[in-house]
Amino acid sequence: MKKGDLAIKAVSIVLFAAICCYLGAYLYNSWKNPFRTTVAVPYAAQDGLNVEGIVVRNETVLTSSSDIVDIVAMEGEHIAAGEIIAQIYDSTERLNAATQIRLDEQQIQQLEQLLVLKESGAEVKDMDEDVRKGIRELVFSVNRKDLSGLDEKTTELQTLLFGQGSDAGEISQRIGQLQSEAYSLRMQYGTESREIRVETAGLFCATVDSFESIGPEALEDMSLNELQTLLAQEETSPSDAIGKIIHDINWYYVFAVGDEQAIYFEDCLRAGEKVTLMFGKYYAGTLDMEIERIGDSEDGKKIIVLSCSKAMTDTMDMRKQQADVVIEHYEGIRVPKDAVHVDDDGQTYVYTVTGVQAERKDISILYQVEDLYIVENDLEDPSALRVGDEIVVSAKNLYDGKIIK
Per-residue pLDDT tens digits for 162-199: 766 777 888 888 888 888 888 888 888 776 678 889 99
pLDDT at 56: 97
Most confidently modeled range among 35-39, 92-96, 386-390: 386-390
Please state, in angstroms and rounded to a whole number, the distance separating the CA atoms of residues 20 and 26.
10
Domains and CATH numbers, the chain: 36-44+331-394 (2.40.420.20), 60-82+199-247 (no CATH), 90-192 (no CATH)
Most confidently modeled range among 21-30, 69-78, 157-166: 69-78
More confident residue, 208 or 157: 208
pLDDT at 278 over 70: yes
pLDDT at 370: 85
pLDDT at 75: 87
Please state, in angstroms and rounded to a whole number, the distance separating the CA atoms of residues 233 and 125.
50
Average pLDDT value for residue range 252-271: 89
* pTM exceeds cut of 0.75: no
- pLDDT band at residue 384 under the 50/70/90 scheme: very high
Rg (alpha carbons) of the chain, rounded to whole number = 34
pLDDT at 33: 55
Strand 286-294 to 275-278 pairing: antiparallel
Please give the span between the terminal C-alpha atoms of the chain, in angstroms, as a whole number. Answer: 44
- pLDDT band at residue 372 under the 50/70/90 scheme: very high
